[in-house]
A and B are shown apart, each in its own frame.
Chain A
Amino acid sequence: MRNKLEKQLKSAFEAPVPAGKHQFLTKLDYPKARRIDFFKSQLGYIRKRVWVLSALLFIITFLGLYFYHVSTSFIWIISSALPFISLVSISEIVRSTSYNMEELEMSCKHNYLEVSLARMGILGAADFIVLISILLLFMEKTDLGFFRLGLYLITPFLLNCYGSLYIVNRLKNKETMYICGCITAFVSFLNALLSIQMSELYTEKYWLVWAVSFVILAVLSGRKAAILIKNMEELQWNSSLTV
């Protein structure tokens, strides 16, 4: 009965056009996304190649260790491949600058600094998981020990981080990542060359050299990362900026 009445009323009277609907909607404070939602959204904007390369390296290591026995050559192959993981991570962190998006991002609620820190957090965690997973896989097959093996695998990675961050802090153009790519290739090649030429490189004899190199490169990379973060707080003046 009531439904029938409603239908009859609707057909009998035309509903008035809403007055001030647009003004009401534009003034309405819509609920905002939470910070965690922003962080999750950034996860979706990391390019697939980062995940593909990390997964590929892990799978190759896993298969290599499963089918072959661990030798020093296997260590240098993996440690020479790891700098490429840092390259794709750095290219992701400085993506805004590479594609001239930083100015737009700086003006947003979650600004360029927050976007970059979110990316650094996500990629840092991903790289850490890959490194630890590879280390644990190796641990099963070798008696070198966790820390020593860690030094051999991570030191070239850190050298590449330092070299790439040094360039990224100095150059702000599309060519920056090509130069970083060259640095990565050089670090990878140098690591392979030294490992082949120096048969005692992974022995007790050079243990201290590896440890000192690791600490120095970790400190230097940390400092370069801090400079990068500081530079993200405002637009860096360069020749492309007009007044």
Chain B
Amino acid sequence: MELIIDRLTKHYNNKIVADRISLTLREGVYGLLGANGSGKTTLMRMICGILKPTSGVVKFNGIDVSEEEYRDSLGYLPQDFGYYPEFSAYDFLLYMASLKGLTKVRAKDKANELLELVGLSDVAKKKIKTFSGGMKQRLGIAQSMLNNPKILILDEPTGGLDPKERIRFRNLISRLGKDKIVLLSTHIVSDVEYIASTILLMKDGQIIHQGSLEDILSPIDGKVFECFVDSHKAADLIAAYPIINIREESDKTYLRLVSDKSPCETAVVVPAQLEDLYLYYFNEGENKGE
């Protein structure tokens, strides 16, 4: 099982939103991290065949993204999706199942099974318009799994879910990665940290880093420092280094920052986390003074 993305590029109005992206994805969970406007959604839409790339190809086991057979292997949860106002959760799943080519009998079984899985079986017959954002999101996740897809593309799947639901879905997605290619984008760094076997860091339409958590953290390993300093020193450090975290305490300022060498006498090296790397890359240019 192999999803090949080869030199995928998308231009729009002279703006490059995806720039020669090449990836080979196999079974596992891939976490796509990037700031707003970095091109994550465009990349996902091209992988789903919803946007046509300016150049480049997307193939799954040799099947082109434009083919019906490719879409038959695909499950997709967009960042934002609507629904027909007269639909209940159950109607919605039956409708999506008909588009995914499921037989009526199979659609009913699968809809009931997935409603149970996402904890919506009690409200299956209720109109979607009465649902909260989290319930709608759970329904979206359910529809993406209707056709037992081999490729699962989830754009911000845990957005709108409460912490308990998020953990539940994190575990579910993690399990799905055993026999599927799961690509998920999120702003919640901890989600990616916990479940993604491979992390893809995206910036300005390009994949700037990819690898396991250990691989991806290596550029800042041993370079993350924490210190407590007075307000004058804090101002100097903020101007000079990429700052990960600031917390004002009664008489001191707590700083977490990235630096090649110890930024001050009181600074101590701490283990790097994905959030440090994310903020390091996406704050770049704002306050990186090294």
A142 at the interface (CB under 8 A from B): no
Given the complex, which residues of B lie within 8 Å of A242, measured CB to CB? 36-37, 41, 79
B233 CB, min distance to chain A CBs, angstroms: 39
- Indicate with 1 or 0, residue by residue over A110-146, a CB within 8 angstroms of chain B CB atoms: 1100010000000000000000000000000000000
Once the chains bind, are B99 and A115 in contact (CB under 8 Å)? yes
Once the chains bind, are B45 and A235 in contact (CB under 8 Å)? yes
Closest to A105 in B: B99
B80 at the interface (CB under 8 A from A): yes
B65 CB, min distance to chain A CBs, angstroms: 11
Once the chains bind, are A110 and B103 in contact (CB under 8 Å)? no
Given the complex, which residues of B lie within 8 Å of A200, measured CB to CB? none
A227 CB, min distance to chain B CBs, angstroms: 17
Given the complex, which residues of A lie within 8 Å of B40, measured CB to CB? 243
Tell me the interface secondary structure of chain A in the complex. Answer: loop
Given the complex, which residues of A lie within 8 Å of B79, measured CB to CB? 242
A178 at the interface (CB under 8 A from B): no
The verdict on A243 contacting B38 (CB below 8 Å), with A45-B95, A107-B49 known, is: yes
Once the chains bind, are B103 and A30 in contact (CB under 8 Å)? yes
Contact partner of B103 among A32, A99, A100, CB < 8 A?
A32
For window 3-44 of A, CB contacts with B under 8 Å fall at: 23, 26-27, 30-33, 37-38, 41-42
Once the chains bind, are A243 and B41 in contact (CB under 8 Å)? yes
Once the chains bind, are B50 and A234 in contact (CB under 8 Å)? yes
Separation of A37 and B148 alpha carbons in the complex (Å): 20
A209 at the interface (CB under 8 A from B): no
Once the chains bind, are A234 and B82 in contact (CB under 8 Å)? no
Once the chains bind, are B102 and A30 in contact (CB under 8 Å)? yes
Once the chains bind, are B81 and A103 in contact (CB under 8 Å)? yes
Contact partner of A110 among B49, B86, B99, CB < 8 A?
B99
A97 CB, min distance to chain B CBs, angstroms: 9
Once the chains bind, are B81 and A101 in contact (CB under 8 Å)? yes
Once the chains bind, are B98 and A106 in contact (CB under 8 Å)? no
Select the residue from B12, B36, B39, B49 with max chain A CB neighbours within 10 A: B49
Q: How many residues of A contact B (CB 8 A)?
A: 33
For window 221-264 of B, CB contacts with A under 8 Å fall at: none
Contact partner of A107 among B17, B36, B71, B104, CB < 8 A?
B71
A2 at the interface (CB under 8 A from B): no
B147 at the interface (CB under 8 A from A): yes
A194 CB, min distance to chain B CBs, angstroms: 37
Given the complex, which residues of B lie within 8 Å of A234, measured CB to CB? 50-52
The verdict on A99 contacting B72 (CB below 8 Å), with A33-B98, A38-B101, A109-B99 known, is: no
B100 at the interface (CB under 8 A from A): yes
Closest to A40 in B: B98
Select the residue from A31, A47, A243 with max chain B CB neighbours within 10 A: A243
Given the complex, which residues of A lie within 8 Å of B48, measured CB to CB? 106-107
Once the chains bind, are B80 and A107 in contact (CB under 8 Å)? no
A63 at the interface (CB under 8 A from B): no
Contact partner of B102 among A23, A32, A107, A111, CB < 8 A?
A32
Separation of A110 and B42 alpha carbons in the complex (Å): 22
The verdict on A100 contacting B37 (CB below 8 Å), with A108-B99, A235-B51 known, is: no
For window 2-48 of B, CB contacts with A under 8 Å fall at: 12, 17, 36-42, 45, 48
A-B contact pairs, 6 of them (CB 8 A): A30-B102, A33-B104, A99-B83, A106-B48, A107-B48, A110-B98
**Chain B residues at the A interface, C-beta cutoff of 8 Å:** 12, 17, 36-42, 45, 48-52, 68, 71-72, 74-76, 78-86, 95-96, 98-104, 106, 143, 147-148, 153, 179, 205
With contacts A103-B78, A109-B71, A111-B71 known, what are 7 further pairs, Cβ within 8 A? A33-B98, A41-B104, A100-B81, A101-B84, A104-B143, A107-B153, A110-B99
